[in-house]
Amino acid sequence: MDDQILVINCGSSSVKIAVFDSQGTALVSALAERLGQRGARLVPDQTQPVTLPENANHQEALSASIHWLQESGYLNGQPSAIGHRVVHGGETFQEAALLDDDAIRAIEACADLAPLHNPVNLEGIQAARELFPEVPQVAVFDTAFHQTLPRHAWLYALPRRFYEDYGVRRYGFHGTSHHYMAEEAARRLGKPLEQTSIISAHLGNGCSITAIRNGLSVDTSMGLTPLEGLVMGTRSGDIDPGLFEFMAVKGVPAEETHRILNRESGLLGISGQTSDMRNLVSAAREGNEHCRDAFEVFCFRLARYIGAMMVSLDQLDALVFTGGIGENSTHVRARTLEHLTLPGFLIDPEANENHGSQLDGHIEAASSRFPVLVIPTREEAMIAREARALVQVHANPRTNRH
């Protein structure tokens, strides 16, 4: 039987799955979408969509998806391990963890820190354990990579009891992507990871930026929840917390304000039309003022955070763009770096148009003070690698994981 790793990433209304071979190559990935709705379907990256049971829940979708993987020959019997993305590990998990009953209880205990994410992550874990009770399963946490933040970077200026009693602090997210960026940037720059310092900008529907010094996360934009930081697709990013009282006086309760900040703000809120950067740029170029505002605010806030991240570094080997927007939006990269000429970031227009594909990811001009890279993220590959490594260590405790 081939040594295969199954990766499962459960969202609120979707399940993303992928299968990796023993060399870490993705054999297939697929997205089960519209869960709990009519028209639930599995959308593979290589074939036509597959209809799922009507109003399928996460367990039904996962079961049907795995059956499809096996029937299609992508998954040969049982995988050797299963890796799960889990959004929040609190302070309990500083690295990937083998999923036993104690680990699951600890993830449940973090649910109040990520109420929209951890419960559905746990649904995927429970479903996979029922489908493959003999297969070792591993949780890889979005927050784990950021557990190396220095105290001054994660401590909020709040009464100390908020942290001591409730765990209120900055945790950071997208850690798997930022971890991959650190390793891949070091490889492309020809430097050891422990000597490489970068600023990693993960830009998609969710956006975050991280300062990585000598391979370790030392500052990041997201905080207690994924709402803090950059402007995102539907999330506001940084906002004056006085907004809650202001809106309450206007008759809008805190719960509704919180929902609006997460679901109706960001690019969607400013433009009033779309959270998709491609559509936004197109409308802005056609003269839509609201879409132009959204684009400009997004790029300015990103540039401001890039400058802020430099405070945590004693050297900068590269600025790295990744994620759906970071990898594909020529306009976002160009406009953002126009705000950063004083620090010395200069872009090569032709390389930027090619997304750095001809230059091993480099898009900086020859006179730029710092390299600028475009690197596609491979979060599922990192989860597969972490799962494989941890299972091997568990099978042979004398094995040095690192």
On the 0-12 / 13-18 / 19+ scale of CB atoms within 10 A, 134 is exposed
Do residues 209 and 222 touch, judged by C-beta distance below 8 A? Answer: no
Q: Is 142 a catalytic residue?
A: yes
Looking up tokens 């779309």, which residue turns up? 274
Do residues 386 and 137 touch, judged by C-beta distance below 8 A? Answer: no
Count of alpha carbons within 13 angstroms of residue 290, beta-carbon side: 11
Q: Which of 369, 319, 327, 316 shows the shortest CA–CA distance to 352? A: 327
Looking up tokens 């090569």, which residue turns up? 348
* CA distances, 355 to each of 91, 98, 329, 360 (Å): 37, 38, 8, 10
Q: Please report which residue ranges of 132-241 form alpha helices under DSSP H.
A: 151-154, 160-166, 175-189
Catalytic residue among 101, 142, 165, 240: 142
Residues carrying an active site annotation: 142
